[in-house]
Amino acid sequence: MTDDEKQTRQRLTWARLTLGACSGVLAGLASLGVAELVSAGVRPQAGPVVAVGGAAIDRTPAAVKDWAIRHFGTNDKLILQLGILAMLALFALVLGITAVRFRRSGAAGVLLFGIIGAVSATSRPDSTSLSDALPSVVGAIAGAAVLYVLVGGLARREPCPEPVDGERSGASSGADWDRRGFVIAATAVAAASAGAGVLGRTLNSASGQSAVASRNRVVLPRPASAAAAVPRGAGLRIPGISPFTTPNGDFYRVDTALVVPKVNATTWALRIHGNGVTRPVTLTFDDLLRRELIERDITLTCVSNEVGGPYVGNARWIGVRLSDLLAECGVRPPSKGGPADQLVARSVDGMTIGSPVEDVMDGRDALLALGMNGEPLPFAHGFPVRMVVPGLYGFVSACKWIKDIELTTFTSYDPYWVKRGWARRAPIKTESRIDTPKPFARPKTGTVMVAGVAWAQHRGIDKVEVRVDDGPWQAARLAAEDTRDTWRQWSFPWQAAKGGHTLTVRATDRTGRVQTDKRTRTIPDGASGWHSVVVTVD
Ligand SMILES: Nc1nc2c(c(=O)[nH]1)N[C@H]1C(S)=C(S)[C@@H](COP(=O)(O)O)O[C@H]1N2
Ligand SMILES: [Mo]
């Protein structure tokens, strides 16, 4: 073979591999586009990326999940989906290149991904039907066909005389692509995939529209028991401090849902049943609206909140008092002889959250909340109905998109997070946070306002102290208390001297317990320790 021939041959090989890689990516696009379209006929959560992402979330070890929440915050889900897409793109490239030589194996590889998607979709806790497998399966078949056809033409541009593909020898189906033919076919596939994807997205979002309409129609009645106005002194006017009431748009969000469930309030129902429920009921949203509603300020906290972290917020909730409802169903707490000590809430997305029946019925304002800061619950925060229990971390109390309450026992059932290593019972720990100055701030010498929030829901905050470097603990000024179920702002005017300083805060709750300096991880029942901020005074 002459050098020229060698070069031509190499060029052709490269061209084929490149076109093969393109075919792989196009096959991937076709799979995803078709899957999206099919998911519109099944349900949006059954799409392969959401399903695989959800399955990955379910299987992620607690420590990794915690790390993801810590590093990506509420973006963790976006990062996960981008990661899945990047992986898919990579595999698509590899499959495409493989298919140039092993046409059937390449196509089979695409089908394998379909199976992974189908298994993920049908094994999600919210999956009730095998039809959830359809988007992945139909998408994969489309992708495999695209790959098979596209590389079919390429394969026979093989410049070397010896047959390289056993599968292919003797086969003569289809025509060779010339360059123009490939470009036309590729463009057609890309356009059709994008079209299917966009159409699927549009149909999926349209199916959410009825839920949106049902939310727009909700008029929250005046509560029979309104929350007292927030005391004037509860919200300090200090730049940088967390506002006493967290606006809905700023309220932290922590859940496992890759697609926010859009539940239609008009078809929603809540079932209450289980051990010791002598009168099980199924309630509609209107049933709840017709009941006596109470309005309460309650501060919610996530167990994944690091010391000094952002996963805590305070809102004014409107809802039904859960203990009244349970009592009507015949439920008695264990202290009054009831057989069930665990209340398991189930959501439409398959989440299960267990709370102690004793806590829910001990007189605190445990709510089935319908409203948040004067509007129906936002979809991301659980529309139409969620639970809120003062004093318990969200993962053991605050089920969003709730649809079922079962009375059971701690020994007979472990809910979602408990199966993954978190505690069965998790009252919120006494904590405090410095909101201002921010870490590594450079305030000027003189009076610097140090301020933040402290919380010990359902016990109340009695004292907050600040320490500068290794100095003595000094009492901070406490803002007025709203209720013992809410956080409390504090401030400390600090006479700042030049140089680097460490500010540390600790709170004491009404039981007299001082916030411990013992640092623990968030797993299994919440982080503890003191929050410190390092600043340089200029
Ligand atoms: N359905 C459902 N409800 C859920 C969760 C979830 O993943 N799914 N997460 C819980 C956790 S861990 C917390 S901290 C709170 C957070 O509520 P928010 O997102 O409204 O702030 O919701 C709880 N309710
Ligand atoms: Mo949480």
pLDDT tens for each residue of 25-58:
999 999 999 999 999 999 888 999 889 888 888 8
Q: How far apart are CA 473 and CA 420, in angstroms?
A: 39
Q: How far apart are CA 310 and CA 300, in angstroms?
A: 11
CA of 321 to the centre of ligand 1 (A): 19
Q: What is the pLDDT of residue 155?
A: 54
CA of 353 to the centre of ligand 1 (A): 9
**Is pLDDT above 50 for 170?**
no
Q: Which CATH architecture has domain 248-420?
A: Alpha-Beta Complex (3.90)
pTM above the 0.85 mark? yes
Q: What is the pLDDT of residue 174?
A: 43
**Is pLDDT above 50 for 161?**
no
Instruction: Delimit the domains of the chain by residue range.
Output: 3-207, 248-420, 431-537
Q: Name the pLDDT band for 410 (thresholds 50, 70, 90).
A: very high
Closest ligand 1 atom to residue 348 Cα is: 1
Q: How far apart are CA 22 and CA 96, in angstroms?
A: 7
Closest ligand 1 atom to residue 381 Cα is: 20
Residue range 238-249, pLDDT digits in tens = 999 999 999 999
Which ligand is the nearest neighbour of the Cα of 527?
A: 2
Nearest CA to ligand 1 atom 18: 253
Q: How far apart are CA 459 and CA 484, in angstroms?
A: 6
Q: What is the pLDDT of residue 168?
A: 42
CA of 398 to the centre of ligand 1 (A): 6
CA of 463 to the centre of ligand 2 (A): 26
Q: What is the pLDDT of residue 114?
A: 94
Helix (H) / strand (E) element for 371: namely strand 367-372
Closest ligand 1 atom to residue 387 Cα is: 24
Residue 253 near ligand 1, beta carbon < 6 Å? yes
Residue 300 near ligand 1, beta carbon < 6 Å? yes
Residue 106 near ligand 1, beta carbon < 6 Å? no
Q: Beta partners for 270? A: 283
HSE-up of 94 (CA within 13 Å, CB side)? 10
**Is pLDDT above 70 for 166?**
no
Q: What is the pLDDT of residue 172?
A: 38
**Which residues are within 5 Å of ligand 2 (an ion), measured at CB?**
254, 302-303, 394-395
Closest ligand 1 atom to residue 303 Cα is: 14
CB atoms within 10 A of CB 147: 32
> Is residue 408 within 8 Å of residue 353, measured between CB atoms?
no
Are 248-420 and 431-537 the same fold in CATH?
no
Least confident stretch, 6-10, 98-102, 279-283, 415-419? 6-10
DSSP 8-state assignment for residue 312 = E
Query: What contacts 194, CB < 8 A, 6 or more positions away?
Result: 29, 33
Residue 302 near ligand 1, beta carbon < 6 Å? yes
Residue that is written with structure tokens 């999926």 in the block: 204
The residue type found at 247 is: P
Nearest CA to ligand 1 atom 20: 381
Angle ∠(127,133,135) on CA atoms, nearest 5: 115
> Is residue 117 within 8 Å of residue 136, measured between CB atoms?
yes
CA of 312 to the centre of ligand 2 (A): 9
Q: Name the pLDDT band for 90 (thresholds 50, 70, 90).
A: very high
Residue 254 near ligand 1, beta carbon < 6 Å? yes
**Is pLDDT above 70 for 493?**
yes
Closest ligand 1 atom to residue 300 Cα is: 21
Residue range 262-312, pLDDT digits in tens = 999 999 999 999 999 999 999 999 999 999 999 999 999 999 999 999 999
Q: Beta partners for 477? A: 491
CA dist list (Å): 164 to 23, 147, 150, 257, 468: 19, 18, 18, 47, 75
> Is residue 101 within 8 Å of residue 166, measured between CB atoms?
no
Residue range 49-86, pLDDT digits in tens = 889 888 888 888 777 777 777 677 667 888 888 888 99
Closest ligand 1 atom to residue 400 Cα is: 3
3-state secondary structure 398-466: CCCCEEEEEEECCCCCCCHHHHCCCCCCCECCCEEEEEECCCCCCCCCEEEEEEEEEECCCCCEEEEEE
Residue 305 near ligand 1, beta carbon < 6 Å? no
> Is residue 458 within 8 Å of residue 301, measured between CB atoms?
no
Query: What contacts 479, CB < 8 A, 6 or more positions away?
Result: 233, 234, 235, 236, 244, 488, 489, 490, 491
DSSP 8-state assignment for residue 384 = T
> What is the overall mean pLDDT for the chain?
92
CA dist list (Å): 305 to 291, 506, 525: 34, 16, 11
Residue 461 near ligand 1, beta carbon < 6 Å? no
**Is pLDDT above 60 for 210?**
yes
> Is residue 39 within 8 Å of residue 204, measured between CB atoms?
yes
CA of 30 to the centre of ligand 2 (A): 37
Q: How far apart are CA 247 and CA 377, in angstroms?
A: 12
Q: CATH number of 431-537: 1.25.40.340, 2.60.40.650, 2.40.30.10, 3.30.70.260?
A: 2.60.40.650
Q: How far apart are CA 108 and CA 144, in angstroms?
A: 7
**Is pLDDT above 80 for 176?**
no
Q: How far apart are CA 385 and CA 219, in angstroms?
A: 14
Q: How far apart are CA 34 and CA 201, in angstroms?
A: 11
